[in-house]
Structure 1
Amino acid sequence: MQKVRLQWDNLRASFWFLPSMMVTVTMAFAILLIELDYGGFTQWLNRWPRFFGVEAQGARQILSTLAGSMMTIMSITFSMTLLALVLASGQYTSRILRNFMRSRVTQSTLGVFASIFAYCLIVLRTIRGTGNGDIEQFVPSLAVFFAFVMSLVGVVVLIYFIHHIASSIQASSIIASVAQETNAAIDRLLPIKSDYEKENEPNDPLAESLDERTWYPVPAKKSGYIQDVNLDTLLSEACLNRTIVRMERGIGEFLVQDTPLVSLALTYPPEQTLINALNAAYSISRHRTVKQDPAFGIRQIEDMAIKALSPGVNDTSTAVMCVDYLTAILARLAGRQFPSRYRYESQSLRLVVIAPSFEKLLAQAINQIRGNAEGNVVIVKCLLNSLDCIASLTHRRGNLSALDQQVTLIGELSKRSIKCKNEREQVDNLLLKVKHTLYVQADFSREDHALHH
């Protein structure tokens, strides 16, 4: 079922699927209107000859003009879309191209113009006669009228599409779109947790002896990025074979064919049926997606920030915007319950997964931006304000420890790269402010822990 959903998501993200569906529906609509005209069900249209009265020759000219115009507009739309893709890829990062391709506005616009073109061709072919008193003349008046109406709709769609392209290539729109998709994935995959819940134990007592076992690797059948893993299938196979399944690659990682996908704690090599079942639990594709992998959304925004900080671009404002949205994402993650690495059947350990953690996602969001911010006081101060904001929203000891480590690294960066005394003082004051927030939150966490235990 998960693979079906992934295939459906991939179809919806393609340029061809939605336009093809729209063309198919429009063709069926054209045939329906022609049949109504042919069956005499539209004789009442003769009451309004100014709207529906048109001879065969005039109908041909109208439909030919509309079909040619729609094909020209569709070519312009494709050109504008490709230009936007090139500009966005060069200015920001190529990883955001898939977001443009998934745009419903772009897909619908292409579908509207292609649908009008196909509609006009179908109606045009059914017109008979020359209009010079032919007895066998047939003009589907209702279908021709709707062709005119659809062309007006196409003009409105074109105007809106130009507005959409102009706004969609702006940095704020791109970053906000990626952040929105990432937040939706976080809400779907990670439940909200309470700061009073017991934190996952970093060292599971039943997992301490894992290295002493004999592990048989299960090779991957194909190369690509892991989009999704059916953990229920892995767990059921582990229970059925009375073994432990250990994931060797997590969601979002690149997998090379014939390298270990998972490892099995067995005393004998696994059978081919088990190998096939474990491979079938993985969805592997040529690209990463945010739907099951929020880390990829963070990576996209981080890449835009790094590109903005590069000497060739030097766009500090865009980098600040990226840090602001990363702050919103990390603040959301600070209040989430991350899954445990260990899954059990009763009291027996059956599955060891590669699960995300706040510490890993924080490091992914901050590390490379910090590394490209040497001497940039604006970004250093922005990062410190970001960490201060996140720290004020969590009491979890693990989260606070990870934040404190990032603050220490930024402090070392400022000492090394900021030479101006006044700017150094500003950064030092911010460092003290963040340290104070971390201390207050950690002290509150200790009191709360003592209170609830």
Structure 2
Amino acid sequence: MNRLRALWLNLNASLWFVPTLMVAGAVLLAFTLIFVDLRIAHDWLKDYPLVFGAGSDGARGMLTAIAGSMITVAGLIFSLTLSTLAQISSQYTPRVLRNFMRDRANQMVLGFFVSIFVYCLIVLRTIRGGDEGSFIPSLAVLMGLVLALVSIGVLIFFIHHIASSIQASNIVRNATEETEAAIQRLFPNELGQEANPSEAQELLEKAGQLTWLAIPSHTNGYLQSIDEEGLLKLARDLDGVVRMEHGIGGFVARGAALVSVASYGNERVLVDDKLKDRVNEQFGLGSQRTIEQDAGFGLRQIVDIALKALSPGVNDTTTAIISVDYLGALLAQLADRRLAHPLRADDDRVRVIAVRPSFEQFLSTAFDQIRICADGNAAVYLRMLTALATIEQRIQDPKRSQALRQQRELIGEAAEQTLHTEYERAQVRLRIAKHKTS
């Protein structure tokens, strides 16, 4: 299942999959219209000479011109796409390239022009005139003209879409929307029956007395997906417990422990090739992190954009502030959500010990590096304090409130040490004092 999911994610993020489907659709459309032209009488076409008046030479000439122009425009679009990918990678962060490649509009525009080219080639080969025996697939030729006219609008849309997609605000917003969808999908994320926090320590002590055996990973890669139901079923079949050694998004080396297993019975778990294969089947590893089960990767993308904006070579405070604003919005959504507990129990026994991110870890991912790189930038410090205030309005857990207070204190310390004027330091102090009293 994980392999199929990983295959689908890779296909969905490729620039060739949707265009290939559209080319197949163009081939089907061409043969369908040619078949219809073969089966119907063409006497009524004489009543519409302006639409169907072209002879075999005229139809060939028109389709040849359309096919030639479409492949030229397709080459231009591929060049623009590659140029845009290079610009986004260098100016923002390579982490957002996958989002751009997954953009359905980009994929469909690429496929549209290539499809028209293929459509015209197929229709061209069926046109006959003179000694060959006259046959002009008039409906198919007319459809080629219609597609060529539509392509003008598609080209204009693509240029507008490209110009909009490389703007910093749109890149950050798209990453935020994708992360929001992941948060909605992942939290809470149930895995069997969640262990009661008051009983968790007792269950964990029972599991700690077991003998653990490591199951190695078959491949290198980042942990992209986990079949959690499969892990739970595996633990039940073993009458034991499965302890994950890596969290989602973590890197696993070939031969390193992927999970550890232990049995509640008197006999130790038999770690054979069958068990190793079954364990590895529950995990999807790939060459890079993905956001489908990894909300932290969405935060990482926006953080990287902010860090690039704060670098001395770019020095784009506005983009950094935009990133902080959206990070605050995402953390506010996480603030009142129940994040899944790492322990999952069944029949009063721990079955799965997962590696789960905490709210504190998300908060650290979002703001720690930005705070460090915002050396001497009062605007970024002030906007981070505003974002923390927004998050605090949604928090009900005292532990999470303590993490926010710690972030606020760290920002205050950084401001005192790096800001150059008393005026800037006073602004930060005033903002911190305001949030403490609110």
TM-score scaled to structure 2, two decimals?
Answer: 0.94
Matched, 1:230 2:231: no
Structural mapping, 1:357-368, within 5 Å: 357-368=358-369
Provide the residue aligned with 1:114 in structure 2.
114
Contact 2:200 2:343 in 1 (8 A): no
CA shift digits 1:127-176 (9 cap, x unpaired) = 1124xxx4711111111111000001111100100000000000001000
User: Which of 133, 142, 151 is equivalent to 2:139?
Assistant: 142
2:253 corresponds in structure 1 to 256
- Contact kept in structure 1, 2:188 and 2:338, CA below 8 Å: yes
Aligned residues: 429
Q: 1:370-409 alignment to 2 at 5 Å?
A: 370-409=371-410
Q: Which moved more, 1:353-362 or 1:168-177?
A: 353-362
Tell me: CA distance 1:164–1:223, structure 2 relative to 1, closer, same or farther (3 Å): same
For structure 2, the residue ranges without an aligned partner over 5 or more in a row are 190-194
Give the Cα separation in 1 of the matches to 2:8 and 2:241: 32
Does structure 2 retain, via aligned residues, the 8 Å contact 1:53–1:141?
no
Contact 1:237–1:274 (CA under 8 A) maintained in structure 2: no
CA contact (8 A) 2:238 2:269 kept: no
Q: 1:115, CA displacement in angstroms?
A: 0.7
| Residue of structure 2 in register with 1:340 after alignment | 341
Once structures 1 and 2 are overlaid, which stretch shifts more, 296-305 or 261-270?
261-270
Which residue of structure 1 aligns with residue 332 of structure 2? 331
C-alpha distance 373-209 of structure 1, shift in aligned 2 (>3 A): farther
Q: 1:56 to 1:219 in 2, by over 3 A?
A: same
- Distance (whole Å) between structure 2 residues aligned to residue 199 and residue 314 of structure 1: 48
SS at match of 2:291: coil
* Root-mean-square deviation over aligned CA pairs: 1.8
1:373 Cα offset (Å): 1.1
Q: Deviations over 1:281-301 (max 9, x none)?
A: 001111211111110000000
TM-score for both structures, normalised by structure 1: 0.91
Q: In the TM superposition, what is the alpha-carbon distance from 1:434 to its structure 2 partner? A: 2.5
Measure, in 1, the Cα distance between the counterparts of 2:262 and 2:35: 67
SS at 2:58's partner residue?
helix
CA change 1:97–1:202 in 2 (3 A) is farther
> What is the aligned-residue identity percentage?
44
Q: CA deviation at 1:268?
A: 4.9
Aligned-residue offset at 1:309: 0.3
Task: Evaluate the alpha carbon distance shift between residue 431 and residue 22 of structure 1 in structure 2; reply closer, same or farther with a 3 A threshold.
Answer: same
Contact 1:128 1:136 in 2 (8 A): yes
Partner of 2:201: 204
**How far apart, in 1, do the equivalents of 2:251 and 2:260 lie?**
17
Q: 2 CA distance for matches of 1:203 and 1:32? A: 64
- The yes-or-no answer on 1:180 pairing with 2:177 is yes
- When residues 88 and 199 of structure 1 are mapped into structure 2, their CA distance, relative to the original with a 3 A threshold, is farther
In 2, Cα distance between the equivalents of 1:42 and 1:365?
Answer: 67
Partner of 1:436: 437
Q: Please say if residues 106 and 161 of structure 1, whose CA atoms lie closer than 8 Å, have aligned partners that are also in contact.
A: yes
- CA displacement at 1:265 relative to structure 2: 2.0
1:412–1:344 distance in 2 versus 1, CA, 3 Å:
same
CA-to-aligned-CA distance 1:29-69 (integer Å, 9 cap, x gap): 10111111122345432321210121111111111111000
AA paired with 2:149? L
> Which sits farther off after the overlay, 327-336 or 426-435?
426-435
Q: 1:416 aligns to what? A: 417
CA distance in 2, matches of 1:27, 1:351: 51
Matching residue's letter, 2:211: T
Q: 1:216 corresponds to which residue?
A: 213
Residue matched to 2:47? 47
- CA shift at 1:92, angstroms? 0.3
Distance 1:201 1:416, change over 3 A: farther
1:151 correspondence with 2:162: no
Structure 1 residues 225, 217: closer, same or farther in 2, change over 3 A?
Answer: same
Shift of 1:212: 4.4
Q: Distance in 2 between the 1:284 and 1:276 partners?
A: 14
> How far apart, in 2, do the equivalents of 1:277 and 1:10 lie?
23
Q: Aligned partners of 2:379, 2:199: CA distance in 1, in Å?
A: 36
Give the CA deviation at 1:328.
Answer: 0.5
2:396 aligned counterpart, secondary structure: coil
Return the offset for 1:210. Answer: 4.5
> Does the residue aligned with 2:420 lie in a helix, a strand or coil?
coil
CA shift, 1:253, in A, is 0.8
The residue that corresponds to 1:127 in the other structure is 127
**Residues 408 and 79 (structure 1 numbering): CA distance in 2 closer, same or farther, change over 3 Å?**
same
Give per-residue Cα distances to partners, 1:403-444, cap 9 Å, x unaligned.
Answer: 11111211211121123111111111111122334xxxxxxx
With 202-211 and 392-401 compared, the bigger mean Cα shift is at 202-211
Mapped partners of 1:222, 1:202: distance in 2: 36
CA distance in 1, matches of 2:337, 2:41: 61
Counterparts in 2 of 1:46 and 1:8: CA distance versus 1, 3 Å:
farther
Structure 1 residues 332 and 138: alpha-carbon distance in aligned structure 2, compared to 1, 3 A threshold: same
1:82 equivalent to 2:74? Answer no
Asked if the contact 2:64–2:120 (Cα under 8 Å) also holds between the matched residues in 1, the reply is: yes
Matched with 1:162 is: 159
Q: Which structure exhibits the higher relative contact order, with contacts defined as CA atoms closer than 8 Å and separated by 6 or more residues?
A: 2
Q: Cα distance, 1:79 vs. partner?
A: 0.7
CA displacement at 1:6 relative to structure 2: 3.8
Distance 2:17 2:197 in 1: 44
1:11 pairs with 2:11: yes
Residue 204 of structure 1: how far off its partner (Å): 2.0
Query: Are residues 1:190 and 2:169 paired?
Result: no
Aligned residues of 2:344 and 2:350 also touching (Cα < 8 A): yes
CA distance in 2, matches of 1:223, 1:109: 35
The AA in structure 1 aligned to 2:304 is D
Describe the SS at the equivalent of 1:270. Answer: coil
Asked if the contact 1:309/1:372 (under 8 Å) is kept, the reply is yes
* Matched residue type, 1:295: G
Looking at structure 2, the residues matched to 100 and 73 of structure 1 have their Cα atoms a distance apart, in angstroms, of: 20
